[in-house]
A and B are shown apart, each in its own frame.
Chain A
Amino acid sequence: MTPAGRRLPPRLGQGWLVAPPAAYLFALLIFPIVLIGLYSVFLRTNLTGVVAVFSFQDWGRFFPASWGELPWRTSSPFWNTFVRSMGVTVVIALATTALAYPLAYFLAFGTRRRRSLLLLVVLAPFFTSFLLRVLAWQVMLRANGVFNSALWELHLRPHGEPVSWLINTWFSVGLVLAYAWVPFVALPIFVSMERIDRRLLEAAHDLGAGRLTAFRKVTFPLSLPGVVAGFVFVLIPTTGEFVTPQLVGGPGTYMFGQAIQDLFVGTASDWNYGAVLAVWLTVVVGLLMALSGRALTMDPRR
């Protein structure tokens, strides 16, 4: 009989536990990133008849040779796409966070008895594939879709004259992305609100703070880690988004993720240039994660 409580040396045990995910991460994350890195500096290429030799040529193509009057009007079309995409991504992330906050607040403070049911309702769309949900929006937004038909039936618009900006515009891309991300943002905010010690709010009221002041001085600062986490949850995947703009966007809503996709598997076959864009996006996302990590570890009470 082995003595109760005998354990393996912790280092060895931990090492074995970490091995499978580490191998998984190395094979499916680190190795592909290194490979993409090699393509970005022309140490590998998909062009036939070309010898791959180290070169920054494609990086030179990506960074603008001349800067226009605006950061998205430079001589490099792909740089312009990047700046435009990032701008739109930040706006979408801000809008989504603003939409999710009241929802999270209601879940945390406004309801007690039906909370589980409401949480289930918030999460229900995730039982369906993302692609199907985007396609459903297509059906709703297009010229003879649900919204336009309703406007016609209600005589709010002449029959046969659809509202054209409903689809293939930044509006439709923003709407569908916000719809997709709101629950993702609401959940971390909800969790951070749940953790707020209710006695702090009672103390605020006892000390004469009104509801608004209590919210401003207690609830909001304490929910900030959830807000930052939610914001980052949207920001990071949206920077590489390509499905939504492809399905409900138009030529004017071309995003950086679509450019990368096109350069690898689309009509243009330029893996080296595609790799430059992919590495650049990875670096930017890495920086955003590092910054958000700092923001999350900061103590909001200070």
Chain B
Amino acid sequence: MERLDRRDFLRGMAGLGGAALLTGCGAESGLKAAGASTGATGRPVHYPGQVGAEPDHLVIAEWPGYEAGGTKAQTYGLTAGRAYTRRFGASGLTYADYGNDDKNLNKMRAGERFDLLHPCVDYVQDYVDAGLVEPFETDLLPSFDRLYPQFADRGSLNGRQYWIPWDWGFGSVMYRKDKVAEADARGWELMWNERYAGKISMWDGGSTPVMVAGLLTDPPAQDIFHQTSDELERSRQLLIQQKPLNKFYWTSEYGDMQPAFKSGDIWITYAWPADYKAMGDALGYDKVAYMTPSQGKLAWVCGFMMGKGTQSPLHAHAYVESFISLAASANLVNLFAYGSSNASVTPAMVKDGRLARELDIGNPEAFGPPVHVERHIPNRAEYQEVWAEVKAS
């Protein structure tokens, strides 16, 4: 068999991704109702048996803070998942730190197995292509029909529902209003502003900083989610230029970013709406702002996938249902200021009306230009390489 070298491999992946992109565009233009678990190429999936006959143990790769209500790991007040822990108890749930999408994908490629994982939509195809996940039987998820089709469709590949959306939100710049001049806080370029050297922290987020850099290169990348070699080189140079301005690259929002922002170690950081809410609550909203950059925010939808070979698919379905239900989704929205995939959650259910307006919670229509909705990166390995080299430079 002829050997495929790395360059051929990356090129091949790019081609594959391009095809996927076209498929994706098709899916976006013709929205179908959520709830279908059969399709043109996939056979319907059916998980027979009784939930009681399965092992009641689930190992879940989860972002810290999202553990099910009722478990010891959940210390942030999230009640989503409580329906599951009430029914099956909390002792069977084991959590592993998801880290970030790049890290977890690499971990699972290396052989680690989880019953459930919480990836974002742009990685769905990576997991499916690598054969690491099983499709869901959507009939086992009573709330599935309530999910926004424009989200649920993104988890449907080859006619099978591999991913169940749950939370969505933005990626943007959070900054200290009392430290940063208003005129400087117009766009992503604030992260490159030398006036704030040593007070900035970019997320050690693998592909994400490369996407952000693509917005600011001269000329900007045509498609920040599919940058060409030349565009990637420009992004690399721009990130190397930004590197000395960082106090540190943050790896965990609760572990290092939020404490440093709260203490004043950093004033400007890549952040998600939950960070804005946490820091606004802690420092006061007169001191903290979440930017709407002139180049547009990033936006993401994350959800659940079921690991290949899980022994407890029915438990996994029950677990996911306990998160996408209306009550759980409303809790997510109010606690973390993220949007929910459940269309029954309306803006009126958001207790903090000001936050709801500011962050477009409960309005999935916010998912359009100029917001850049993250999607599958065909040449992800190249993005990862760029970021690795920036860190080593």
Contact = CB atoms under 8 A, between A and B. Distances in A.
B248 A270 contact: no
Interface residues of B, number: 45
Contact of A251 (B6, B9, B12, B243): B243
A117 interface: no
A269 B264 contact: no
Contacts of B12: 49
B391 A254 contact: yes
Nearest to B245: A251
A265 B130 CA distance: 17
Interface in B72-123: 100, 102-103, 105-107, 109-110
A268 B9 contact: no
Given A51-B3, A269-B105, A250 B388 contact: no
A262 B3 CA distance: 26
Given A265-B106, A267-B102, A269-B384, A254 B244 contact: no
Contacts of B243: 251-252
Contact of B388 (A48, A252, A263): A263
B392 A81 contact: yes
Contacts of A168: 247-248
A246 B251 CA distance: 9
Interface of B: 1-6, 9, 12-13, 100, 102-103, 105-107, 109-110, 129-130, 198, 204-207, 243-244, 246-249, 251, 259-260, 263-265, 381, 384-385, 387-389, 391-393
A146 to B, nearest CB: 12
B205 A267 contact: yes
A20 interface: no
Nearest to B207: A267
B212 to A, nearest CB: 14
Residue of A57, A162, A254 ringed by the most chain B CB atoms within 10 A:
A254
Contact of A267 (B1, B6, B206): B206
B113 to A, nearest CB: 15
Nearest to B1: A51
A58 to B, nearest CB: 8
A168 B105 CA distance: 29
Interface of A: 46-51, 53, 55, 57, 77-78, 80-81, 142-145, 160, 162, 164, 167-168, 246, 249-252, 254, 258-259, 262-263, 265-271
29 contacts: A47-B9, A50-B3, A50-B4, A50-B9, A51-B2, A51-B4, A57-B6, A143-B264, A144-B263, A162-B265, A164-B247, A168-B248, A250-B249, A251-B243, A251-B244, A251-B248, A251-B391, A259-B392, A266-B102, A266-B388, A267-B204, A267-B207, A268-B106, A268-B384, A268-B388, A269-B110, A270-B384, A270-B388, A271-B110
Nearest to A54: B3
Contacts of A263: 388
A80 B392 CA distance: 8
A52 to B, nearest CB: 8
Contacts of A143: 260, 263-265
Nearest to B393: A77
Contact of B109 (A46, A258, A259): A46
Contacts of A55: 3, 5
Contacts of A250: 246-249
Contacts of A57: 5-6
A265 B392 CA distance: 16
Contacts of A167: 265
B195 to A, nearest CB: 14
Contact of A50 (B6, B102, B260): B6
B239 to A, nearest CB: 10
B5 A160 contact: no
Contacts of B381: 47, 269-270
Contacts of B385: 268, 270
